[in-house]
A and B are shown apart, each in its own frame.
Chain A
Amino acid sequence: MAADMDASSVLDVRNLAVSFRTDRGEVPAVHDVSFTVKPGETLALVGESGSGKSVTSLAVMRLTPPAPQASLTGSILFRGRDGQVRDLATLAEHEMQAMRGNEISMIFQEPMTSLNPVHRIGDQIAEAVRYHRKVDRQAALDRAEELLVLVGIPEPRKRLKSYPHHLSGGMRQRVMIAMALACDPSVLIADEPTTALDVTVQAQILELLKELQERTGMAVVFITHNLGVVAEIADRVMVMYAGRIVERGGVVPLLKHPLMPYTHGLLRSVPRLELAAFGQAKLEAIRGNVPDPTRMPQGCSFHPRCDHAELGRCDRTIPILEEAEADHLVRCHRWRAIASVEA
């Protein structure tokens, strides 16, 4: 079953669906998500709150709560260092533990919560190294120092002895990246790693990630809500809305000529430096609110906010994700009509 994975990709997610059990019944968070990532490639997962982008990334790491609190279906094919393809969705927990932080790593938005405040930085990185590799303490500490150099932390030897609270937000994120890279993973999942940082520090971290990717050839799945960051870092983009992929494609076609009205609206609602309207002109906002997961609209989940919605169609059936151009998929009943008029 796992053998038919595309030889050029390292991660191949197929029909992933996740739902959570709550007081108010079964709440689906992610439906029918499929994507592939190639080595050296950055796939950006874009979406707002409730879009399912974070749940998707957690599911790939198998970090969603175990059944029965959450259910996970579909397959997550991953090509290991040994060339063998495994389905992470069905892997036993102890096998998954051997993968996590080793062949597939993750960094989070708030590094402070992922670092243990009572242990030195050096020990924490060394611990991450020793968890997966049988090396002695000194070798692990040497590796930790090497990693700190790699992520551009000044005075790495001194920093090994620092505690997380001695470091600034940007430095902590660098330490998290160092830990994630400890075992040279082939896939790095970055969940909003720059959202909590200042723009000048964000620019540094993005630059660092690009540089590291060039050097190691790892694939990056970058989760963000910031389209500017997407333009900066991504090769391909996947836009999610209300738990579904609504558009997927290369970064240039997707940001330059979006097909899904949601992507289009999102792009227009971002204030831009070069279009700064000192006259205080209105931004083109998308009306309405992000839908509540327990009360999804019928049909296309974006239709209540969409200017192009067609009564009787968009509010009835969920559109399929169809290929509009080569490697450019869109989930919209009316993309042809919209595209022809805009052209």
Chain B
Amino acid sequence: MTIAMDDQHGPILDVQKLSKTYSVGGGLFGRSRQSVRAIDDVSFQIRRGEVLGLVGESGSGKSTLGRTVLQLTEPTSGSVLFNGVDLTRLNRRQLKPLRPKMQLIFQDPFASLNPRMTVGRILGAPFQIQKLRLSRAERDERVVAALGAVGLTEHHLDRYPHEFSGGQRQRIGIARSLVMEPEFLVADEPVSALDVSIQAQIVNLLLEIKRKLDLTILFITHDLAVVGHISDRVAVMYLGRIVELADTRAVFSAPRHPYTEALFSAIPTLDPTVKRNRILLKGDIPSPLDPPSGCAFRTRCRYALPACAEAVPPLREVGQGHLSACIREDLNLAAPLAA
């Protein structure tokens, strides 16, 4: 099952044609069941030590993608190669020994910690679950090390989650994901629920940990500014598909998809004296139950042509490592940074 691969240079994660379809409706009253493509034919790779930012609005499927990559949600089709092993072919028992290597950081620091457990028990649970043969001293050492990495100390071990503030809880959640010494983290909106002054702390913390522990991170967020700060590459999702994927600098200086341009334009700047020409998108994300034909963005796109309705534009290379799913090559899109 394991495909031989050079660990140092190959991607740590290789997602191929991943799709997840939910069926909704139906039931007793004979309504027909409809299917929703939450993620649709998504492929990307993450290199070891890289931070890939995954940006999208609500309903874009970014969180589902994160959870499907981690096999918390079973994909409908496609494969997820983690260190060369296809996770989609493993059952739960086979996945268990791989779990410590990949972890998830949650958005809501209030829901992600069991309110009935002390911090010590929360951080000790992974050892108990994985039944690692570690001495008590080794275990305590790793717990304290993880706490230290997030700026907390062993004095916090016998406290309960409700005694901590939101930012501190998020630190505990991060510490939990670190105790098993993972290689790969999925951070699902880890700063969205936090106060502005705390967000910066947590972003800094993640960057610091990433550097120290040589982690690979899939950073899921709706906030392009945060992504610009933390990511090496950015993938932009719209209605279940990746519409643009490139180096962060390339996306910020020369976006190639109109949706990326519109997202940038929608973010308010901190300068009250600058009045920009804002691109206002009309309406909302279309219902995934009834997506538009062809390019899903065409209904809100100001550059749309009749041809956009005909076929789903493939994600293709438009520059060095720069992928975009737009058929128009003649666009000169606005960017927050000069190229």
Contacts and interface: CB of A to CB of B under 8 A. Distances in A.
A231 B229 contact: no
B113 interface: no
Contact of B167 (A169, A266, A289): A289
Given A273-B225, A274-B337, A289-B198, A201 B248 contact: no
A175 to B, nearest CB: 13
Given A286-B197, A289-B167, A271 B225 contact: yes
Residue with the highest number of chain A CB atoms closer than 10 Å, among B263, B268, B278: B268
A283 B271 CA distance: 18
Interface string A263-294: 00111011111101110111111110110100
Contact of A204 (B203, B272, B280): B280
B268 A231 contact: yes
Interface in B199-240: 199-201, 203-204, 207, 222-226, 228-232
Contacts of B247: 278
B252 interface: yes
A292 B281 CA distance: 40
Contact of A277 (B229, B269, B336): B229
A229 B264 CA distance: 14
B272 A282 contact: no
Interface string A245-279: 00000011001100000000111011111101110
Contacts, number: 157
Interface stretch (A29-37, A138-146, A220-228): A220-228
A200 interface: yes
B269 A274 contact: yes
B21 to A, nearest CB: 22
A91 to B, nearest CB: 34
B306 to A, nearest CB: 22
Nearest to B60: A198
B197 A200 contact: no
A171 B284 contact: yes
B223 to A, nearest CB: 7
B272 A252 contact: yes
A207 B196 CA distance: 23
A202 interface: yes
Contacts of B252: 273, 276, 278
A285 B266 contact: no
A49 interface: yes
Given A207-B280, A283-B204, A200 B229 contact: no
Contacts of A266: 196-197
A76 B249 CA distance: 50
Contact of A269 (B166, B197, B228, B248): B197
Interface residues of A, number: 53
A282 B204 contact: yes
Given A198-B57, A201-B284, A276-B336, A48 B270 contact: no
Interface in B261-279: 262-273, 278
B7 interface: no
A290 B222 contact: no
Contacts of A171: 284
A278 B249 contact: yes
B165 interface: yes
A276 B53 CA distance: 13
A6 interface: no
Query: Which range contains the number of B residues in contact with the other chain?
Result: 35 or more
A280 B263 contact: no
Contacts of B231: 278
A203 interface: yes
A170 B266 CA distance: 14
Interface in A305-325: 305
Nearest to A292: B165
B228 A273 contact: yes
A199 B222 contact: yes
B58 interface: yes
A230 B271 CA distance: 9
B198 A283 contact: no
B195 interface: yes
B51 interface: yes
A285 B151 CA distance: 14
Contacts of A278: 228, 231-232, 247-249, 252
B16 interface: no
Contacts of A207: 278, 280
Given A207-B280, A290-B165, A252 B337 contact: no
A271 B280 contact: no
Contact of B196 (A48, A204, A251): A48
A225 B195 contact: yes
A232 interface: yes
Interface in A35-59: 48-49
A69 interface: no
B43 interface: no
A202 B200 contact: no
Interface string A119-161: 0000000000000000000000000000000000010000000
B197 A273 contact: no
Given A267-B270, A273-B337, 18 more contacts: A48-B196, A49-B195, A168-B284, A198-B222, A199-B222, A199-B266, A202-B266, A203-B280, A207-B280, A231-B269, A232-B269, A269-B200, A271-B228, A272-B270, A278-B228, A278-B249, A283-B229, A286-B200
10 contacts: A199-B57, A199-B222, A199-B224, A201-B57, A231-B268, A231-B270, A234-B272, A255-B272, A266-B197, A280-B207
